[in-house]
Structure 1
Amino acid sequence: MQLHQYTDSTVLNTEFAARLENLLQQAITQRGHAYLVVSGGRTPTALFNALSQADLPWHNVSILLADERFVPVDSPDSNERLVRANLLTAKAAKANFISLYSAAATAEAAVPEIMPRVSALPTFDAVILGMGEDGHTASLFPCSAELNQGLAMDAPAILAINPTTAPHQRISLSLPRLLNTRQLFLHLVGESKLAVLNKAQAGDDVSSMPVRAVLQQHDVDVAVMYAAN
């Protein structure tokens, strides 16, 4: 793990967007297509806006979420809605978006429909994860009964999650699917997140802080992109 600290989130987002642009362009040049996994929430909004201005052949880029709340795409709580409003705009409007939503009655019932969209994808080029104050990442919550399944190295690409400390059912990529990437980023803003990161590094119980499973593995490089404000 490498910690990259920036003076503020504006500088972070500018440099992070440029780094992502380079990674995606390299993938397109080498393999003809690039695959980017992003996370929802408030933190990445400004990064999305910056990245949407990148001069890329966006029709050769596929974007999907690391996890999604099981709500309609027009819900204020929808990560897909956030991505469409802030990333799939401007120059990036031509990118291909792979949705984790289905109109099924439950997240569990939606998995068979969503699974083929994700399971056949190749190695990702970049995965951007966030981290909660409880040490969750994607929707791999310490409170969920599905955590062990989501962290297992033979886990399916996606699974339904039922957190007890957060609203909504979730669809989440599993740990092995998230780690099947050429580069992994942890995007953190705020001094409280640095404290959580330090706590995660100081222990090894992944069930209490699932982000440890990302930080302490050795299969893929993890770059922590951090600004205090």
Structure 2
Amino acid sequence: MFTLNKYQNSQLLIEDLTSHIVNELKQAIVQKGHASIAVSGGKTPIPLFVSLSQQNIEWSRVFITLVDDRWVDDNDDASNEKLVMTHLLQNNAKLANFVGLKNSCDNPFDGAEMTDKMLDKIPMPFDVIVLGMGEDGHTASLFPGAANLAAGLDMKSGRKVVGMTPLTAPLDRITLTLPTILNSKNIYLHLVGESKMQVLEQAEKDHNVNQMPIRAVLQQDKVNVTGFWTAS
């Protein structure tokens, strides 16, 4: 089930999304003794990361990983791991347990098995996954038309991650698979801009997941998906 929350500005969105995430993480810590969250990269979540980093949570009990990453060194500006280190794993959140997706293999296709084992450190199901969405309808690094997209969407593969070579973006990626993404208690879709609303409306009109992989998340009944959108 997909529901969409709309906000007058980005500040109000960030405040509410932060509140949702904090409540879920705190509740998980009370119930299980730990919590887990997977976050996306890019410019959009930076204000969210800054906000989360300042929250009063038992961060030492929180496990954080990425939804996807480019197969670059963690000191590269294109690295989502660097983004998280710079903006999220600061202040109070520097005590959190972080597991990245990149390893020493030459490419994400060779490295997927190692990353899969690395993710055994993350308690699953995730309590929260925060996704973004591209103008082409991709989410995580599940890109339309990519050669390995079918493997990423395969609900029976048993894989936590797969390598991906996008047709519409540079650099090879590693990404959580659809079953890993759906192995979550809460999925939050963070969107900013009128163009993203147009993409979202298009995604809801059809069922072709190869054309717009975000549909595989929006049009499933395994976990509730909540969208957080503002025009600017």
2:168 aligned to which of 141, 165, 168: 165
CA shift for structure 1 position 119? 4.7
Structure 1 segments, 4+ long, off by >6 Å, are none
Which residue number in structure 2 is paired with residue 132 of structure 1?
134
Equivalent residues in 2 for 1:150-189, closer than 5 Å: 150-155=152-157, 156-189=159-192
Equivalent residues in 2 for 1:31-46, closer than 5 Å: 31-46=32-47
Which residue number in structure 2 is paired with residue 106 of structure 1?
107
- Larger displacement relative to structure 2 (115-124 or 219-228): 115-124
| Residue 6, structure 1, aligned to residue 7, structure 2 | yes
1:201 aligned to which of 204, 213, 225: 204
CA contact (8 A) 1:123 1:181 kept: yes
Which residue number in structure 1 is paired with residue 195 of structure 2?
192
CA contact (8 A) 1:183 1:222 kept: yes
Cα distance in 1 for residues equivalent to 2:133 and 2:152: 16
CA shift for structure 1 position 117? 1.7
Gaps of 5+ in 2: none
Deviations 1:143-182 (A, max 9, x none): 2111111111113110111112211111100000000000
Cα distance in 2 for residues equivalent to 1:118 and 1:103: 15
* Residue identity (%): 43
Which residue number in structure 2 is paired with residue 57 of structure 1?
58
CA contact (8 A) 1:118 1:158 kept: no
Gaps of 5+ in 1: none
Cα distance in 2 for residues equivalent to 1:228 and 1:112: 39
CA contact (8 A) 1:111 1:158 kept: yes
Give the TM-score normalised by structure 2: 0.97
Which residue number in structure 2 is paired with residue 228 of structure 1?
231
> How large is the RMSD of aligned CA atoms in angstroms?
0.9
CA shift for structure 1 position 32? 0.4
Deviations 1:91-148 (A, max 9, x none): 0000000110112111112112211122564200000000000000000000211111
**CA 1:147/1:119 → structure 2, altered by over 3 Å: closer, same or farther?**
farther
- Larger displacement relative to structure 2 (195-204 or 105-114): 105-114
CA contact (8 A) 1:40 1:79 kept: yes
Which residue number in structure 1 is paired with residue 95 of structure 2?
94
Which residue number in structure 1 is paired with residue 117 of structure 2?
116
Deviations 1:161-217 (A, max 9, x none): 111221111110000000000000110000100000000001110000000000000
Q: What secondary structure, in the 3-state scheme, does the structure 1 residue paired with 2:4 have? A: strand
Cα distance in 1 for residues equivalent to 2:177 and 2:192: 24
Give the TM-score normalised by structure 1: 0.98
Task: Give the letter for the 1:32 counterpart.
Answer: G
Cα distance in 1 for residues equivalent to 2:97 and 2:120: 16
Cα distance in 2 for residues equivalent to 1:132 and 1:110: 25
**CA 1:151/1:119 → structure 2, altered by over 3 Å: closer, same or farther?**
farther
Q: What secondary structure, in the 3-state scheme, does the structure 1 residue paired with 2:49 have? A: helix
